[in-house]
Amino acid sequence: MHDTTIALIQLGAVFFGLGLLGRLAWRFGISPIPLYLVGGLAFGSGGLVPLHGISEFTHLASEIGVVLLLLLLGLEYSASELTTGLRKSWMAGLLDIVLNAAPGAVVALLLGWGPVGALAMAGVTYISSSGIVAKVLGDLGRLGNRETPVVLSVLVFEDLAMAVYLPVLTAVLAGVSFLGGLTSVGISLLAITVVLVVALKYGRVISAVVDSPDHEVFLLKLLGSALLVAGIASELQVSAAVGAFLLGIAISGSTAENATRLLEPLRDLFAAIFFVVFGLNTDPRTIPPVLLMAVLLAVITTATKVATGWWAARRQGIGKMGRARAGAALVARGEFSIVIAGLAVASGHVSEQLAALATAYVLLMAIIGPIAARYVEPVGEFFVRRRAAVR
């Protein structure tokens, strides 16, 4: 068969399979993300039936999925809410770095991967997945919860930390001078500052430029501006997700409400592809040798992320159940962790086992995260009732 024919058949099978998995998740009342990941694992490299004809499309589609997830997340909040949240949560952000970067660094040193491996693994275990968290909060209807701004503040702090971390890691891996590393960091921070200032001062102008009474024109301008901002942000060593998120908070009022309604179906489609691609890029055969260490890391860093969210929410005067929801929402790791591991291994300065460990770890956390977020409330309520009955 022709290559295009094969690609269409495989892509059709993937979309139809996603629909079945989504329906199954809906029947059990859980997020479909874990099922999407396992489905991708089954049909990726080393899986049951490898799919090779759609790699180019799915790679780009998965990037668009992350952009749309964070764009719609940004549309829920204003620039003033973001800056207020960051001012209140910066201490939680520092605690997040200490608690969640340390386990990865320690494991790398114990395995003999040296300081460079420790620096890479620290980033793998530190950064939560903005894409998965955004999807879970939307699926569970928690975007309006009191603890959600706390979660978003921590996520934004992490992404801003990545704007410093990634240039430093890249410079270390490439053997660039200290001055060169500082230059990269400066460019990243300058880009973020400019976008934040534009969002705060010229949000109404941006909304007016993007808005249109015609749905087709509105969609084209909205999607085009999101991809442009994300691409420019990525070129400036800032996460494309951060760029999309900041564009989202710059759009306000009725424009933001209309944009949310218009983009939700597209977000769901491309986000599903993002999670499947994550599984497709994972070779199941690399997991068994590092599974025990990955499970150990998963247990430790699940606890440290929950502790981070709990502490951050407590500082905002949120109740115990809200603190638990905030902590569980932050558990998932994803796209950033895989990028970090890929950069490290590609440099040739760390063991190839780092990629296998990072992949197994992220796969576990990407599954544990949505499940923890879904069931933290029922489990918490069970223990509250049990305690009340004992009394």
The length of the chain in residues reads: 391
pLDDT at residue 43 in the model: 73
Report the alpha-carbon distance of residue 309 to residue 325 in Å, rounded.
8
Residue type, 79: A
Alpha-carbon torsion 204, 207, 208, 213, what sign? negative
pLDDT at residue 300 in the model: 96
In angstroms, the first-to-last Cα distance of the chain is: 70
C-beta neighbour count of 81 within 10 angstroms: 14
Q: Any idea of the CA torsion for 284, 286, 287, 292, to the nearest 10 degrees?
A: 170
**DSSP calls for 221-272:** HHHHHHHHHHHHHHHTTS-HHHHHHHHHHHS-HHHHHHHHHHHHHHHHHHHH
Report the alpha-carbon distance of residue 210 to residue 324 in Å, rounded.
38
Angle CA 119–235–221, to nearest 5: 135
3.30.559.10, 1.10.3720.10, 2.40.30.10, 1.20.1530.20: CATH of 3-390: 1.20.1530.20
Report the alpha-carbon distance of residue 43 to residue 51 in Å, rounded.
6
Which segments of 281-334 does DSSP mark as H helices, in order? 291-315, 320-329
Report the alpha-carbon distance of residue 93 to residue 91 in Å, rounded.
5
pLDDT in tens, the chain (391 residues): 567 787 788 788 888 888 888 888 777 766 677 777 777 777 766 556 666 667 677 778 888 887 887 788 778 766 666 677 667 778 888 999 999 999 999 999 998 888 888 989 999 999 898 778 887 888 888 878 888 888 988 988 887 777 677 767 777 776 655 566 666 667 766 766 776 677 667 777 888 888 888 888 988 998 898 898 888 877 766 667 667 877 887 887 788 888 888 888 888 888 788 777 766 766 777 778 888 999 999 999 999 999 999 999 998 889 889 999 999 999 988 767 877 776 777 677 777 788 788 878 988 898 888 888 888 877 766 665 666 666 5
Contact assessment for residue 93 and residue 154, using Cβ atoms and an 8 Å cutoff = yes
Report the alpha-carbon distance of residue 391 to residue 370 in Å, rounded.
33
How far are the Cα atoms of 311, 312, 313, 328, 371 from residue 322, in angstroms, in the given order? 11, 11, 7, 10, 16
Helices (H) and strands (E) counted in the chain, each on its own, are 16, 0
pLDDT at residue 388 in the model: 60
Residue recorded with tokens 């070129």: 235
pLDDT at residue 298 in the model: 95
